[in-house]
Structure 1
Amino acid sequence: MKVTADRTVCVGAGLCALTAPAVFDQDDDGIVTVLAAEPGDGDRPSAREAGLLCPSGAVRVVEDAE
Structure 2
Amino acid sequence: MRITLDRDRCEGHGVCESAAPELFRLDDQGDLEFPLDGQEIPPPLRAAAADSVLICPVAALKLEG
- Shorter chain as denominator, the TM-score bin is 0.7 to 0.9
Give me the TM-score of the superposition, normalised by structure 1: 0.82
TM-score (norm 2): 0.83
Q: How does 1:1-66 map to 2 (within 5 A)?
A: 1-36=1-36, 37-63=39-65
Greater RCO (Cα-Cα under 8 Å, separation 6 or more):
2
Residue identity matched to 2:33: T
Structure 1 segments unaligned to the other structure (5+ residues)? none
RMSD, aligned α-carbons? 1.2
Q: Contact (CA 8 Å) 1:4, 1:34: kept in 2 or not?
A: no
Counterpart residue identity of residue 17, structure 1: E
How far does the alpha carbon of each residue in 1:12-36 deviate from its partner, in whole angstroms, 9 at most, with x for none? Answer: 1101111111221122221222122
Cα distance in 1, alignment partners of residues 17 and 27 from structure 2: 11
Letter in 2 for 1:22: E
Aligned length: 63
Residue segments in structure 2 that go unaligned for 5+ positions in a row: none
Identical aligned residues as a percent: 33
1:4 alignment partner, SS class: strand
